[in-house]
Structure 1
Amino acid sequence: MQVDFYHLTVTPLDRALPQIAEKVLGTGGRLLIVTESESQRATLDRLLWTYSPESFLPHGEAGGEGDARQPVLIAPEAEPANAARNVALVDGVWRDAALGFDRAFHFFDEDRIVEARAAWRALGDREGVERRYWKQGETGRWEQAA
């Protein structure tokens, strides 16, 4: 399984997350977006409908009747009711439940850098886990740093 650490320094989550979601959906995959914060889940729900004037990402919030049909599901826990094999942890908190997916995207900012470093180190000893660290260059472009 692959874990991609995304250090948000230039591009905020509300611009980075839709890009990742579009790529996952573009490959025919499904995505589970996880945050404990109810207000952040509501904000992400609105964002995915409006992030681009030309497009939107079909999605829903966990707990509805159609969870299984949602290509993108926003949830408080890493439980893929939509059968997603990709998970985006967007509140800066690493969860070992993400290891049950094929790919995890761990987004964090400067407020969560210490926790992200601890997760990076802990995952270094896990068999079958490939880690990648992405940082933004001066132009805002993502560059793989490790």
Structure 2
Amino acid sequence: MTEVLFYHLQDMRLEAVLPPLIEKSLERGWRVVVQAGSEERAEALDSHLWTYRDDSFLPHGTWRESDAAEQPVVLTVRDDNPNDATVRFLVDGATVPEDCTAYQRIVLIFDGDDDGALQAARAAWTDCKARGYEQTYWQADERGRWQRKDGGGT
């Protein structure tokens, strides 16, 4: 069954949070698709994943590339699954897909300092609950480590 994880950013930037989450997914042998809410955000993330660390990068492609199906990570603005991913990250306003059953995990990352993003996450939580998906809510502690919270803080 698909699990939907809600990651609540507070005083954190997506650019700092997303790469380690993608790395952990790849370490587990999962393919990843990251859906952004706009082409501008997808392009910014594309650049960032090549340069976010001096000693490493995340191999990836975008939905525009002819070899997207071969990539371990694909950045997209569409709701398809171009690389047969197991995990789908939703960022910057991207919405939960109608059919989540193709994924083991859907990870919705939202900015808790943005009222609109917070309201959208609450609506997504309610929608996922109504559809019967297992949900977990995550918040970073004072050291920046992700902690699972009970009951969903959205």
TM-score of the pair, normalised by structure 2:
0.88
1:38 Cα deviation after fit:
1.1
Give 1:88-103 correspondences, 5 Å limit. Answer: 88-97=89-98, 99-100=100-101, 101-103=103-105
1:64 Cα deviation after fit:
1.2
Give 1:104-123 correspondences, 5 Å limit. Answer: 104-109=106-111, 110-111=113-114, 112-123=117-128
Tell me if the contact between 2:37 and 2:93 (Cα under 8 Å) persists in the aligned partners. Answer: no
TM-score of the pair, normalised by structure 1:
0.93
Q: Find the counterpart in structure 1 of residue 25 from structure 2.
A: 24
Identity of aligned residues (%): 37
1:80 Cα deviation after fit:
1.1
Distance 2:12 2:37 in 1: 22
- Code of the residue aligned with 1:124 in structure 2: it is K
- Code of the residue aligned with 1:125 in structure 2: it is A
- Gapped runs of 5+ residues in structure 1? none
Q: Find the counterpart in structure 1 of residue 135 from structure 2.
A: 131
Tell me if the contact between 1:31 and 1:71 (Cα under 8 Å) persists in the aligned partners. Answer: yes
What's the CA shift string for 1:121-143, capped at 9, x where partnerless? Answer: 2212223x110000122222211
Tell me if the contact between 2:79 and 2:97 (Cα under 8 Å) persists in the aligned partners. Answer: no
Tell me if the contact between 2:36 and 2:42 (Cα under 8 Å) persists in the aligned partners. Answer: yes
For the aligned residue pairs, the C-alpha RMSD in angstroms reads 1.3
- Gapped runs of 5+ residues in structure 2? none
1:94 Cα deviation after fit:
2.4
Q: Find the counterpart in structure 1 of residue 71 from structure 2.
A: 70
1:65 Cα deviation after fit:
1.1
Q: Which has the higher helix share?
A: 1
- Code of the residue aligned with 2:75 in structure 1: it is I
| Segments of 4+ moved more than 3 angstroms | none
* Secondary structure in 1 matching 2:65: coil
